Amino acid sequence: ETGVTQSPTHLIKTRGQQVTLRCSSQSGHNTVSWYQQALGQGPQFIFQYYREEENGRGNFPPRFSGLQFPNYSSELNVNALELDDSALYLCASSSPQRYGYTFGSGTRLTVV
């Protein structure tokens, strides 16, 4: 089975710009979650999508938004980038029958 694929792997943006990160879920997984991992920290939950609807959100401002598509791939959009948004962004997919989440290798975003 295919794993979770994220693109791009690395990205450098300027403060104030907008960015879109992409995730292809593992085949058969209809739930996708996004996490932000700052350097030296554990991942922080951003939001989760189930069958194209957001069904949970962490403590992140509205400039963090997402989409899930009918093929269960997903996007994370961040507007008005700030320096503190520099982090590794991880996508994880799951299904109700799945024992745990499958994570991608992440996108490392640097905001300068």
Partner 1 sequence: AQKVTQAQTEISVVEKEDVTLDCVYETRDTTYYLFWYKQPPSGELVFLIRRNSFDEQNEISGRYSWNFQKSTSSFNFTITASQVVDSAVYFCALSEARGGSNYKLTFGKGTLLTVNP
Binding residues (CB under 8 A) for partner 1: these are 31, 33, 35, 40-45, 48, 56, 58, 88, 90, 92, 94, 96, 98-106, 108
Q: Which is nearer to partner 1, 81 or 88 (CB)?
A: 88
As measured in angstroms, the least distance from the Cβ of 6 to partner 1 is 9
DSSP readout, 12-42? EE-TT--EEEEEEPPTT--EEEEEEE-TTS-
**Smallest separation (angstroms) from partner 1 to the CB of 58:** 7
Short-list 83, 79, 91, CA closest to 36: 91
